[in-house]
């Protein structure tokens, strides 16, 4: 269903029910004026009581529509159809009490059809059009002899009424439909603008996440460099420490190079599909080489071959979580991974002291670190990356000590 933005006296209105309220309000005023003129000025034989009952019913419906519009800003297709069906039914009742199909204003049936043509899909339009045609046909059948009585003054007045009806119908259709079509075009332009802004925001968020991840990765090498620099001041540096220093500098340069390369258009979803088992085994082996002092125990099992997207971005998240586990449990870390056709589960277990229960709920929503010199971005970035990939992450304290990190990721079967 199209949600419209229509300008009334310089004010924007996007509430469809309120637009229908004003449409019916103008129609009611026109019906009252026409009925009074026909009865008083031209002395047409009208059923005044029946017409008054129909118009009174429309007023009640319109009051309900106004109160409804204050509570519902985006009504369903069915509700809009019922609103316009009521208008068609009211027109049929008015024509029934005022000459049937010979009533010069019978072309007013066009108005609800024109309105629904803008608001709802084609099926609803054809349904209301069919109901309108059936109602018109019923009126013609109900008053078959009225068509032979167009003579003298009555015929002149009938022609005049048909002209007024045409002018009113054309004017109202031009006003409402053109306004609504213009509103739809404005909405399309707004959607395009919002989509372009979202793409830009996505790039900025991705670049921010990458910069924060790079800062986190550089934290450890810079800390090591700081320690060795202290030895340099005392002239106690060895060749092994020099090699470590060079290695840490290279890690910093590599992290900065990756950020520079990816800054032009990083997208979490943009890396393509890779075999999940191969990706995970390579990541764990590479991490184990860098953390050789930590014993890594792993259990990898999957029933089928599956793929995962954004492996490069995902690896940053997993490495952050593994680093946190190793910091909490320097002796050993346990990793268990399993997967089926559409979901993979990865569990990282450390044997440290655990996390303050009061802080567990905040991890992932804001930076957190248990290390005195930590900046707390590891778990925060991991949560952000994994959630944007469509996965989940949950940290819990184990009864025997340590933290268990459960990660679920969406995967796809590989052919």
- CATH number for the domain spanning 393: value is 3.30.565.10
Distances (CA, A) of 349 to 287, 335, 353, 399: 15, 6, 12, 12
- Is there a domain that residue 23 lies in? yes
272 and 414 within one domain: yes
- Is there a domain that residue 201 lies in? no
- Is there a domain that residue 164 lies in? no
**pLDDT exceeds cutoff 60 at 113:** yes
414 and 285 within one domain: yes
Last residue of a domain, one of 149, 180, 210: 149
Instruction: At 16, list the tokens.
Output: 């469809």
**pLDDT exceeds cutoff 60 at 128:** yes
Instruction: At 46, list the tokens.
Output: 């009208």
pLDDT digits (tens, 9 = 90+) for 36-62: 887 776 667 677 788 889 889 999 999
pLDDT category of residue 216 using cuts at 50, 70 and 90: low
Residue 89's pLDDT is: 92
Domain holding 392, by residue range, is 268-415
Q: Which residues does 80 contact at the CB level (< 8 Å), separation at least 6?
A: 1, 16, 17, 20, 116, 119, 120, 124
145 and 278 within one domain: no
145 and 272 within one domain: no
Residue 296's pLDDT is: 92
Residue 168's pLDDT is: 66
Number of domains in the chain: 2
- Is there a domain that residue 250 lies in? no
**pLDDT exceeds cutoff 60 at 71:** yes
415 and 272 within one domain: yes
Q: Beta partners for 298?
A: 335
- Is there a domain that residue 187 lies in? no
- Is there a domain that residue 390 lies in? yes
Cα–Cα distance measured from residue 57 to residue 63, given in angstroms and rounded to the nearest whole number: 10
- Is there a domain that residue 398 lies in? yes
Which carries the bigger pLDDT value, residue 364 or residue 18?
18
**pLDDT exceeds cutoff 50 at 127:** yes
- Is there a domain that residue 216 lies in? no
Which carries the bigger pLDDT value, residue 280 or residue 302?
280
Last residue of a domain, one of 149, 173, 205: 149
Last residue of a domain, one of 111, 128, 149: 149
The continuous run of DSSP H or E covering 50 comes out as: helix 48-69
């Amino acid at each position: 269903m199209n949600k419209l933005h229509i300008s009334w006296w310089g004010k924007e209105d996007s509430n469809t029910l309120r637009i229908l309220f004003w449409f019916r309000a103008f129609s009611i005023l026109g019906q009252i004026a026409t009925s009074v003129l026909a009865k008083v000025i031209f002395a047409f034989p009208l059923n005044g009581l029946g017409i008054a009952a129909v118009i009174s019913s429309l007023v009640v419906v319109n009051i309900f529509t106004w109160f409804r519009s204050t509570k519902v800003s985006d009504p369903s297709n069915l509700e809009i159809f019922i609103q316009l069906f009521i208008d068609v039914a009211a027109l049929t009742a008015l024509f029934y009490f005022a000459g049937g199909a010979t009533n010069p204003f019978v072309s007013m049936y066009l108005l609800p059809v024109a309105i629904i043509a803008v608001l709802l899909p084609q099926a609803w339009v054809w349904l209301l059009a069919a109901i309108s045609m059936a109602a018109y046909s019923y009126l013609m059948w109900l008053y078959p002899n009225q068509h032979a009585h167009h003579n003298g003054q009555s015929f002149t007045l009938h022609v005049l009424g048909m002209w007024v009806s045409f002018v009113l119908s054309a004017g109202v259709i031009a006003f409402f439909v053109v306004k609504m079509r213009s509103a739809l075009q404005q909405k399309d332009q707004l959607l395009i603008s919002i989509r372009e802004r979202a793409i830009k925001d996505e790039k900025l968020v991705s670049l921010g996440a990458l910069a924060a991840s790079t800062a986190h990765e550089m934290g450890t090498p810079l800390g090591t460099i700081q320690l060795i620099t202290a030895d340099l001041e005392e002239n106690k540096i060895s060749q092994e420490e020099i090699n470590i220093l060079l290695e840490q500098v290279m890690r910093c340069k590599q992290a900065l190079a990756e950020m520079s390369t990816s800054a032009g258009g990083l997208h979490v979803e943009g890396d393509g599909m890779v075999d999940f088992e191969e990706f995970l085994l390579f990541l764990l082996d590479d991490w184990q080489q860098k953390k050789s002092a930590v014993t890594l125990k792993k259990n990898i099992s999957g029933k089928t071959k599956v793929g995962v997207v954004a492996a490069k971005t995902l690896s940053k998240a997993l490495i952050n979580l593994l680093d946190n586990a190793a910091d909490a449990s320097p002796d050993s870390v346990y990793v268990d991974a399993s997967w089926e056709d559409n979901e993979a589960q990865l569990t990282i277990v450390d044997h440290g002291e655990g996390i303050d229960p009061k802080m567990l709920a905040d991890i992932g929503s804001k930076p957190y670190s248990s290390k005195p010199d930590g900046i707390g971005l590891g778990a925060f970035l991991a949560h952000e990356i994994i959630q944007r990939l469509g996965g989940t992450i949950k940290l819990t304290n184990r009864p025997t000590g340590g933290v268990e990190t459960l990660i679920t990721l969406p995967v796809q079967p590989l052919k």
